[in-house]
Every structure is written in C-alpha cells, then in structure tokens.
Amino acid sequence: MFRISTRLLCRRNLTLSSPTSSTTFQKRHTAEDDKPNLSGPNSKNSRVTVLKKYWIFRYVDYVKNYEKILEKNFPKTMHVYRVFSIGSKEFYADLKRYMQVRKKIRNFGADTLNREELQLTFTFPKDLIKISPVLLISAVPFTNYIIFPLAFYFPHVLLTSHYWSIEDKLNFMLKEHKKRLQHNKPLLRCVQSQVKTIQDTESRATFKNIIACLGSGTHPTIDDILYCKKLFSGPPYSLKCMKRKHVKELLKVHGMSRFSLGNRTRLLERGLLIKRMDTAIQREGGVTKLPYDAIRWALSFRGVNPVNMSTESMQAWLDQWLLISSQVDEGSISLLLHCPILLAYNHETNWTLLYHDKNN
C-alpha cells in the first residue's frame, strides 16, 4: 500500500513540475534566437547588409565633404566654380524680378515702381545685353572650356556685376565714374558759352554768378539754381535748344553712348528716370532710410564719387539734390540733367579721383 501511494505522489510531482521546465526551456530558446547566428545559413546575408550600410555611410560622408576636398586640392578651380555658381543664381533671380517689373509697368505704369525696381530697370537691360554673347557661345559644345576662363579673367568686359567680387565692384565703379568726370569740364564750357545769349538781365546775372562759383572751386546755392530753372525749360539750355556738342557732352556725363539715334529723347528718358527715383526715395521715407550700398550707388549714379564719404555727408548731398528734383518737371528736366556739374563739379572726392588717383 505504501509503495502504491509513493508512486502516485511521484507521478503527480512530475506532472506539476513539467510546465515549469517547459517554460524554462522556451525562455532559453527565445533568448538564444535573439542572438545572430553567424554560423547559420543567414550569416552571409547579414554580413552583406553590414557592408552595405558601411559603404553607404562612407559615401554620404564623402558627398558631404566633397566640396571641402575639392577646395583643398583645387582652390583656384573651386573659386571659379563658386563665382559662376553664385553669380548665375543672382542673375536668374534678377531676371525673374525684371520680368515681374515689366509686367507691373504694363499694368500700372512706371510711376508706381519703388526705388529698387527703378534701379533694376536701369541696370538689368545693360547686363542682359552684356552677358548674352557669353551665354550664347557657351551653349555651343566644347566652347565653355574657352569662354568661361576668358570671362573669368576679363570680368569687366564679359561679365556683369553679379559675377564680380566686392573689390571688383568698387574698382569698376571708380573706373566708369572717372570716365564720366572727364566730360564735366567740356560740359561746363558748353554751358558757359551760351550765357551771353540769355535775354533776361537778372537771370543772366544770376547764372553768371553760378558759373563764377563753379570756376572758383565752390558750388552755387540751391536758391540760385532754382531761380534759373526757366533757362532750362527754354532757350538756351532746354533739351530742344541745346547745341549738338552740348548734347554729346551731356550724354557722356551720364555715361550714355553718343553714337545712337534720338539723343535728345534718350536724355529726356534718363532725366525722367532720375526724377522717378528721386520721388521714390522721398516716398519711402527719405535719404535716412536708404541702406549704405543704396546711397553709395545713388551718389555715383548722380555724379558724385562716394568713396571716403561719411554716411552723413552722403545724405546731406543727396538731400540737396532732392530739393532741386522736387521742383523740376518734364519741361525743365534739363536742369536735373545738369546737376552733376551744378552740385558736384568741385566735389572733393571727384577731384581726388580725377586728378590724384593714379591707380585709376
């Protein structure tokens, strides 16, 4: 009886303990399954996956540092690449803006443009004409190996300001400005030669005083200039009454070609453009709201060399210009066109550039 009871108890204990042992076995089995079996049939695939990930990461790092590697090994080549890459982006951005401005002019008129848009209408057409030969030639197969190096070494001739460095922009601006200043004295002589033809006695006396101021190294007052405004809306200094030599010198003072048709019409359009720019500056808050680069460009465009001028002196000079511009209309636009000599003929920075700057 005792033996039978003992056997039953042993079987019961075995039955109760079997789930625990099974669970333990399953747990060990699951833990082992989580470990990669490099000696199994999938070991080859796992090694390939690891190698793929390694080379992908290496390739991504290489691409990220590719420009740095090229710049280190080929600094001159990378400099040329960046010049053309950045310049092209700026050029196409201006092209899009210019197309929008042209559409705005067609719909609302030129008088609705702001200062930056008016400046773009002046600069971009010339830029487009200048760079078009380079773009057309580079489109021919294999010619880009020739035209791009030439353009890089002669940027002033073949490229626009989008591709120039800051130093190049300054040097080229001074070079062009000096060419215009060389026509100030011939223009003043043309103006002086017509003083005797002024019929009104008081106007003739006032204008003689203006010429005397310019000849003595000073500038006339704004009141004297505005008093003689009628001389620029009729004989002898209106666009219709000026002699041919006078017109040619006035064109060169404003950096315009004199070998074109309709010179007087082109001068009228230039004067109206300047007038619109002046109005836009006043509408947008005056000269104090202009950025530094914008006011430098404005002075150079109107006949003053802005190099070595303080912001306050640039603002003061431009304020004088705007006082005259506010009193000028289309009939007396010739007065505004003559302001580069009336307000800037004896300016110190102009004389420094013209007679003392040997580098330009």
Element (H, E) at 93: helix 75-108
Give the CA angle between residues 6, 12, 13 to the nearest 5°.
90
Cβ atoms 152, 80 nearer than 8 A: yes
Upstream peptide bond of 155 is cis (omega within 30 degrees of 0) = no
User: Quick one: pLDDT at residue 144?
Assistant: 77
For the cut 50, the answer to whether the pLDDT of residue 103 exceeds it is: yes
User: Quick one: pLDDT at residue 46?
Assistant: 73
Domain segments of the chain as ranges:
51-163, 166-356
Across 31-47, average pLDDT: 53
114-143 confidence digits (pLDDT tens): 999 999 999 999 999 999 998 888 888 888
Place of tokens 């033809």: 197
Beta-carbon contacts of 295 under 8 Å, excluding residues fewer than 6 positions away, are 287, 306, 311, 314, 315, 318
From start to end of the chain, where are the E strands? Answer: none
Give the pTM. 0.78
User: Quick one: pLDDT at residue 147?
Assistant: 84
Cβ atoms 321, 188 nearer than 8 A: no
Q: How far apart are CA 306 and CA 291, in angstroms?
A: 14
Q: How far apart are CA 326 and CA 279, in angstroms?
A: 8
For the cut 70, the answer to whether the pLDDT of residue 104 exceeds it is: yes
Across 158-165, average pLDDT: 92
Across 228-237, average pLDDT: 95
Lowest mean pLDDT among 14-23, 35-44, 89-98, 217-226: 14-23
Q: How far apart are CA 275 and CA 35, in angstroms?
A: 82
Beta-carbon contacts of 83 under 8 Å, excluding residues fewer than 6 positions away, are 152, 163, 165
User: Quick one: pLDDT at residue 116?
Assistant: 96
Segments in the chain forming alpha helices (H): 2-34, 43-64, 66-73, 75-108, 115-138, 144-153, 155-158, 166-181, 184-193, 201-215, 222-227, 244-253, 263-283, 292-301, 311-325, 333-342, 348-351
Q: Which residue has the higher pLDDT, 246 or 5?
A: 246
173-226 confidence digits (pLDDT tens): 999 999 999 999 999 999 999 999 999 999 999 999 999 999 999 999 999 999
Q: What is the largest CA-CA distance in the chain?
A: 157
User: Quick one: pLDDT at residue 141?
Assistant: 85
Across 60-66, average pLDDT: 65
Place of tokens 């000849």: 215
Place of tokens 């057309």: 136
CA 261, chain centre distance (Å)? 30
How far, CA to CA in Å, does 325 sit from each of 75, 167, 188, 253, 302? 50, 32, 20, 18, 12
For the cut 90, the answer to whether the pLDDT of residue 4 exceeds it is: no
User: Quick one: pLDDT at residue 45?
Assistant: 66
Across 349-358, average pLDDT: 84
The 3-state DSSP class for residue 199 equals coil
User: Quick one: pLDDT at residue 73?
Assistant: 64
